[in-house]
Amino acid sequence: MNKLTSNSLNKTFKIGDDSLVVLNDINLVINENDSIAITGASGAGKSSFLHILAGLDTPTSGNIYFNDTDLALASNKSLSQIRLNNFGFVYQFHHLLEDLTVEENIQMPALINNSLNNDKKMMSDDIMKTLGIYQRKDHLPWKLSGGEKQRAALGRALINNPKFLFLDEPTGNLDNNNSKIIQDLLFEMSDKYGIALITATHDNEFIKSFNNVYKLKDSLLSKIDE
């Protein structure tokens, strides 16, 4: 079983002559099929933590292990392959490529990974049908609603069958109805494909769906007991 481990993780930002500590001695183990929500005030370091866990940023000190590989010590090529094959990321903003169709946006990570074969195309169709955007597959992003754009972004994050899906305020720009749709789809897709969910969110209703909830406050991570 794949595992992601944060070991004595620290992150400090330099602001002029001052230092801002956003993560202090963070230890966390995430296994496949886990669902973890991280809450906290704006600026508490939630996004920074997700980016470091996903290998998109490096810690000031400490380690992030994907299984036995220390992401901070991995070569750029190795790190890129780990991210491409094992991690998916959904942001608050969809970041779709505006000159590509929904289908092309979703298939892009598989194309980059040289794995866009018939099986992946069938998987792309299945993902779009599950997400309710198959009928929009030939549309460009500007023709989509906000909820549809976020579903396409979710589909893109899922096409390489990641083991861990990172979600940074994935419903922050959506109305209540679309937020609920995206939230339900996330857990449906997680169950279907066996993916761990790690999300940063302010949504108290969304948080209730997760197996484990943590709070970042004053650079420290603590578990919130039910």
* Mean residue pLDDT across the chain: 87
**Counting runs of H as helices and runs of E as strands, what totals does the chain give?**
7, 10
Encode burial over 55-80: b for 16+ CB neighbours within 10 A, e otherwise: bbeebeebebbbeeeebbebeeeebe
- The pLDDT score that the predictor gives to residue 174 is 67
Lowest mean pLDDT among 13-17, 47-51, 79-83, 120-124: 13-17
- Percent pLDDT > 70 in the chain is 97
Residues near 182 by beta carbon (within 8 Å), at least 6 away in sequence: 147, 150, 151, 154, 170, 171, 174
pTM over 0.75: yes
- How are the residues of the chain apportioned to helix, strand and coil, as percentages rounded to the nearest 5? 40, 30, 35
The encoded tokens of residue 27 equal 């230890």
In which element (H, E) is residue 201 found?
A: none
pLDDT in tens, 31-87: 988 999 999 888 788 889 999 998 888 899 999 999 989 988 888 888 888 888 899
Q: Is the pLDDT of residue 3 over 70?
A: yes
Q: Which residue has the higher pLDDT, 115 or 133?
A: 133
What's the confidence (pLDDT) of residue 226? 54
Q: How do residues 127-177 score in pLDDT, each as one tens digit?
A: 899 888 999 999 998 898 888 888 898 889 888 888 999 998 877 766 777
Cα separation, 158 vs 146, whole angstroms? 19
CATH 3.40.50.300 fits 3-224, yes or no: yes
pLDDT score recorded for residue 28: 93
What is the CA 70 to chain-centroid distance, rounded? 19
Q: What are the DSSP calls for 159-176, one per residue?
A: TT--SEEEEESTTTTS-H
